[in-house]
Structure 1
Amino acid sequence: MSNFIRPGQVWLDTNGKRIQAHGSSVMYVDGVYYWYGENKENTIPGSGVWHNGVNCYSSEDLINWKFEKTILKAPSDVNNPLHPSRIMDRPHIIYNKKNKEFVMWMKLAGTDDNPRDWNYQYMGIATSKSITEEFKLIDKIVPLDMSSGDFDLFVDDNGQAYIIFGKVHTEIVIADLTDDYKNLTGKYSTHLHFSSPPLAREAPAVFKRENEYFMFTSGTTAYYPNQTLSAKADNMHGPWYIIGDPCLEDTEKNTFNSQISSVFKVPNQDLFIAIGDRWVVDLTRKKEKSSWNINTSESDYVWLPVEFRDNIPVIQWKSEWNPNNF
């Protein structure tokens, strides 16, 4: 048992195994925290493996995590978009109260002819009646006929749900979801317009405090960490105003060597946690393929509290901290 979250250090589950839940989020269901994300345990250079499904862990203190199961499995059929060799990133789950159903969206990319074709990015939708039971893929869509990159899901206080994604690589799109959270209504708005990488924004992480909305976004530098930008709005559809880098004393301007994937609001506390990945990159150039070796199987996590100063979110580095004493 541990008493602290230690950002950037190896995080083991209660069985002593490295936690595999990348591009992740946390949900609170019936008094238990559930952390879920991509299983990258076999994603090593030369393996041809991009993922091994989506893992789910449970905890009562946000520190010690028990492995529950792989809730979205990677099938053996190479033509299935969830095959381990194909791209599946950043699963997000929201709960639909009306249908009593958990709805997972995930970023997919590639085609049968070219499984690693980043020029074709779209979304997969899967559902389950329980956060700890297997999710089944029910649909694949190209939202608003746009190439959709890293994304987030957000459910407002009135039950209206939104998908927030980076339109590759130009702007952030915010779109209303249908009542069942499985499709888009067609209503959308665009924000944070930048011409191209590395300034173009991606990986939005949206959260709400009192009556104001906040969004963290990353620049577009692949697995290499960069400076987070924070924005705020009075309405989900904006206008959104950039309010600067939330990371204090981040001398390298790289979000403490991480990329934020989501922000979790701890129930019954004025505490928000920025949940991020510290990707491991092998800088050995693959000359024959003109790419980089990326070993995500040994990537770690950077979880840090989001504090507020004059109603502006800020993140400070902490080598260890306990969310229950915050």
Structure 2
Amino acid sequence: MRYSLIISLVLLFSCQEKVSKFTPGEKWLDNNGVHINAHGGGILDHENTYYWFGEHKVDGKIGNTSQVGVHCYSSKDLYNWTDEGIALSVSNDTTSLLIKGCVIERPKVIYNAKSKQFVMWFHHELKGQGYKAAMTGVAVSDQITGPYQYLKSVNPNSGIWPIDYPDSLKTKNYNLESIKKWSKEYFNAAAEGVFLQRDLQKGQMARDMTLYVDVDGKAYHIFSSEENTTLHIAELTDNYQDFTGKYTRALEGQCNEAPAIFKKGEKYYMITSGLTGWKPNAARSAVADHPLGPWTSLGNPCRGSEGDNNTTFKSQSTYVLPLKGKEDEFIFMADRWTPENAIDGRYIWLPIEFEEDKPVIKWQNEWYF
């Protein structure tokens, strides 16, 4: 009887139907028949295998804090995913900043060919402090699936001005307490760097983030800063584990988060979202000649139905994946958040097209490449 049960289970999993297309917004089952748990994630293509890293959520609102850590999955074809377990675990040590109940969001992993290490960065908020800390954390591993060793969390570039920040604004005085939040004066002051100045010595705020490795091996950390009003693009050291101090401001005072960056031809493109908490909003896009900018806005890239393209198909960007072996073909990756029951968040993957040198994302109920 025992052996019959084992054989039945083996047959059940071996006969599990293979996925051969993307169905955005539907449940996406892994090799164990469980909905993939890798929210706010990114993908690393390494040695002919794709690895998907994302936030491991649990049931209910508590799932919006990190109760487990960062989950990893692997795939050969991007359709069918194998559970590789928890790559980075939260700690039960009360002295650790990575203690269970903190916030770990938007983890991204890149490979350093010189050190032969895998480097993970993530948005990190301290337990019990809401989104006050606005830090970024880093962890490393010799194995792509982990376990990753947590190194530190920081507010980047303490005491350092951006390379594109004019001297004329470095000495400009602001009375921040007198500026009404969300007013025209507030956005003008934000664009000029009122929050940049405020945080200069402590280090800058770093919330929603992504990583980008250019063709020359130089890596960049892109994150929402200055009370989420302005993006920072910061160069990483050769080992990808720290900041060089060289960074720029992008789309100043325009309130962008959820950045995702990719390159087509000689141009760099970025897709972001606006600021509406867990509620979806219209995506934005921008273009530059270099990762450090300057960046020029291109408008909303979304076209189609599924609710409204002004809500990015009820989702928010997290990553753009270049398709290996297919020139100038990319997958837009986004999350359809369910904050009341975090574990049920769905994934919106759609192809990126180009029209008049602008990225365009069209809704499709199902598709394949």
Q: Name the counterpart of 2:223.
A: 165
Q: CA deviation at 1:280?
A: 1.2
Deviation string for 1:290-310 (max 9, x for gaps)? xxxx32111111011111122
Q: Name the counterpart of 2:317.
A: 260
**Aligned counterparts of 1:242 and 1:47: Cα–Cα separation in 2:** 34
Query: Residue type matched to 1:302 in 2?
Result: I
Q: CA deviation at 1:80?
A: 2.5
Query: Residue type matched to 1:18 in 2?
Result: H
Query: Residue type matched to 2:140 in 1?
Result: T
Deviation string for 1:252-290 (max 9, x for gaps)? 501000001010111111321111110114xxxxxxxxx
**Aligned counterparts of 1:137 and 1:152: Cα–Cα separation in 2:** 18
**Aligned counterparts of 1:262 and 1:117: Cα–Cα separation in 2:** 24
* Structure 1 segments of 4+ aligned residues over 6 angstroms from their partners: none
**Aligned counterparts of 1:186 and 1:74: Cα–Cα separation in 2:** 29
1:177 and 2:223 correspond: no
Q: Name the counterpart of 1:226.
A: 281
**Aligned counterparts of 1:135 and 1:118: Cα–Cα separation in 2:** 24
**Aligned counterparts of 2:65 and 2:94: Cα–Cα separation in 1:** 11
Q: How does 1:291-302 map to 2 (within 5 A)?
A: 294-302=340-348
**Aligned counterparts of 1:15 and 1:265: Cα–Cα separation in 2:** 27
> Is this contact kept in 2: 1:12–1:19, CA < 8 A?
yes
Q: How does 1:54-203 map to 2 (within 5 A)?
A: 54-110=70-126, 115-144=128-157, 145-167=203-225, 168-194=227-253, 200-203=255-258
SS of the counterpart of 1:106?
strand
Partner residue of 2:294 out of 239, 242, 251: 239
Q: CA deviation at 1:151?
A: 0.8
SS of the counterpart of 2:61?
coil
**Aligned counterparts of 1:304 and 1:82: Cα–Cα separation in 2:** 33
Q: What is the number of equivalent residue pairs in this alignment?
A: 303
**Aligned counterparts of 2:335 and 2:274: Cα–Cα separation in 1:** 15
- TM-score of the two chains, using structure 2 as the length reference: 0.79
Seen in structure 2, the aligned counterparts of structure 1 residues 50 and 100 have a Cα distance that, compared at 3 Å, is closer
1:210 and 2:268 correspond: no
Seen in structure 2, the aligned counterparts of structure 1 residues 176 and 61 have a Cα distance that, compared at 3 Å, is same
Q: Give the unaligned 5+ runs of structure 1.
A: 282-293
Q: Name the counterpart of 1:320.
A: 366
1:274 and 2:320 correspond: no
**Aligned counterparts of 1:46 and 1:62: Cα–Cα separation in 2:** 29
**Aligned counterparts of 1:271 and 1:300: Cα–Cα separation in 2:** 23
Q: Name the counterpart of 1:15.
A: 32
Seen in structure 2, the aligned counterparts of structure 1 residues 79 and 43 have a Cα distance that, compared at 3 Å, is farther
> Is this contact kept in 2: 1:128–1:136, CA < 8 A?
yes
SS of the counterpart of 2:122?
strand
Query: Residue type matched to 1:266 in 2?
Result: L
**Aligned counterparts of 2:276 and 2:95: Cα–Cα separation in 1:** 29
Q: Hey, which of these two has a bigger chunk of helix by percent?
A: 2
Higher mean C-alpha deviation, range 249-258 or range 57-66: 249-258
Identity of counterpart residues, as a percentage?
Answer: 39
SS of the counterpart of 2:343?
helix
> Is this contact kept in 1: 2:303–2:309, CA < 8 A?
no
Q: What is the CA RMSD across the aligned residues, in angstroms?
A: 1.5
Query: Residue type matched to 2:278 in 1?
Result: Y
Q: CA deviation at 1:84?
A: 2.9
> Is this contact kept in 1: 2:332–2:351, CA < 8 A?
yes
Seen in structure 2, the aligned counterparts of structure 1 residues 239 and 184 have a Cα distance that, compared at 3 Å, is same
Seen in structure 2, the aligned counterparts of structure 1 residues 268 and 47 have a Cα distance that, compared at 3 Å, is closer
**Aligned counterparts of 1:166 and 1:48: Cα–Cα separation in 2:** 19
Seen in structure 2, the aligned counterparts of structure 1 residues 139 and 110 have a Cα distance that, compared at 3 Å, is closer
Q: Name the counterpart of 1:289.
A: none
Query: Residue type matched to 1:245 in 2?
Result: N
Query: Residue type matched to 1:272 in 2?
Result: F
Seen in structure 2, the aligned counterparts of structure 1 residues 48 and 185 have a Cα distance that, compared at 3 Å, is closer
**Aligned counterparts of 2:95 and 2:258: Cα–Cα separation in 1:** 27
> Is this contact kept in 2: 1:78–1:85, CA < 8 A?
no
Partner residue of 2:304 out of 249, 263, 269: 249
Asked which structure has the greater CA Rg, the reply is 2
